Structure formats: structure tokens, C-alpha cells
Amino acid sequence: MSRIAYVNGRYVAHRDARIHIEDRGYQFADGAYEVIWLSGGRLVDGQWHLERLARSLGELEIALPAGSRALGFIAAETARRNGVADGIVYLQATRGTARRDHPFPARAPRPSLVMTSRRAAAPAAATTEAGVGVLSMADFRWDRCDIKAIALVGNVLAKQRARESGAYEAWLVDRDGMVAEGGSTNAWIVTASGGLVTRAPDERILAGITRRRLIELARGAGIPVEERAFSLEEAKAAREAFITSTTCFVLPVSRIDDTVLGNGRAGGVSLELRRLYDQFVAGAL
């Protein structure tokens, strides 16, 4: 089955999907995006994702290309036309096409909207149980990481450095030695008493949708959650650590740089949280 993309009002063959060469998303990364997980054809926390998209576009002073209900319909239809029941929908909105100039066009162009969908699977049980490594590095990204902008070259470089070192993810550390987030994930630690710590939303991190959902699930299960910054040193001394995102769900961390956490495999709290999140995604919670 050939893949189908949605481009500015039309469903077209993926190979024929086009935007104008002067689309500001292409020339300035002037736009925002979302990745939504599909489970059984259902958009997991779709409304929360669309609310975050609206916030990101608002911060960039870009008009929503369509209402929330319409965006949800297009996302579901894009998945349906691709035959994707379990996987992701990617949606991206930009300021639109205009003569190349750094300031906003005097007359706002029509925002561009594209969507694609493909099959995907969460990390396998073996990967989850073994845990993954993360590589710490100085945070060299821009200062508005709370906007889910398509300007991701800093994240790309961080992820590449991590992969070249044999790690799964990068952890970006701010000037005060506090962990911000991963290259494409939120960062968490488990304290000696079994509580969770993850950085409170600020301009240094993206407020992840999986992060938000997991806080609710953890508190509902009686697991305390602190939203505060934690240092790299605290993380390396933690009982457990893990990362979260739309595509990795809850993924335990077994190593930070050269420091092995616990017994070098996933800890019990992390695995329990992954179980709870899997149940939620499957619609059992």
C-alpha cells in the first residue's frame, strides 16, 4: 500500500507531497509540529497534543491552520488512508509561503499544514528490561525549548553525539548543572524512597504529553511526584532513572555517562510505570 500525505487541503501520494520552496518552514524553520501516538486507530491524548500545538503556534504568532476538531479529523483520516492503526501521526504547521525576509510578512500568508502517518512500535520488552544509556552534555539549544518548534538542529546534534558514543539519548545540562531534558525526551529520576522527580515546565524544557499523562498515572497509583530540577550528580546517585516521550513511552535508563545505575538493568519502579502507561495506551485505564 502506497503512503498518503495530507498537504494543504489535499491527500496526495507520499512521493508527490510538495510545499513551495519559499515556505517559511523550509527556509526559517518558522513553524511548530506534533507527533501523536495511534493505538487501535485512536489518537492517544490527541486533544492534549492539539492544545500544545495551538500554544506553540501562539507563541510564534502563527494562526492555527484549522480548528482543533478539524485537525483531529484530518489526523485520523491520514492514519486511515495509510492503513495505520498502531503507530504515529506527524503534523506540522508553518507560517506559510512568502518572499524570503526574516521579519514576519507584512500581510500574513495562509499557514501551511502537512500530515503523515506510519506504523511504529514502542521499545521492545528486551530493550525496556535492559535499560538504555544516556550521554550528558552542555545544553547548547535556544532558550525557548517550551515551544515545539521545527527548529531542531540542536536536538539533532545532541542525539547524534549520543548515538556516536553508543548511548540511546542525550541529557542536556544547563549552566547550573541541572538536567533540562533529553534530545527528544523528558528526563526523570527515582529517589531512594521510590518517589519520582522530573523538571517542572519552564522555558528550558518541552512539557511532554507523555510526561503529563505519567504524572497523573503515577499519582493515581500512589507514587509521589516532585516537579523540580535535579542535578546531573543527583541523577547519577539516584535509585533509578528513565525517559518518556510519545514514541518511547517509559524507557528505563541503566547508565548515565560511565555511571551504572542500580544493577545495570531496569528498576522496579520504572517497569511498573511502563506497565501502567502500556495499559493506558491500550485503553485499559
Structure-block grid coordinates of residue 44: 492517544
Length of the chain counted residue by residue:
285
Cβ-in-10-Å burial (0-12, 13-18, 19+) of 129 comes to middle
Structure-block grid coordinates of residue 54: 495551538
Label the pairing between strands 225-227 and 196-198. parallel
For 130-146, give one letter per residue: b (16+ CB within 10 A) or e: ebbbbbbbebebeeebb
Cell numbers 496526495 correspond to 12
Report whether 197 contacts 141 (CB < 8 A): no
Candidates 241, 233, 234, 187; CA nearest to 210 is 187
Q: Would you call 148 a catalytic residue per the annotation?
A: yes
Active-site annotation holder among 148, 159, 204, 255: 148
Candidates 184, 187, 193, 267; CA nearest to 229 is 187
Question: What Å distances lie between residue 50 and 10, 55, 61, 90, CA to CA?
Answer: 20, 9, 16, 12
Report whether 74 contacts 6 (CB < 8 A): yes
End-to-end alpha carbon distance in the chain:
33
Report whether 136 contacts 232 (CB < 8 A): yes
Q: Which residues are catalytic?
A: 148
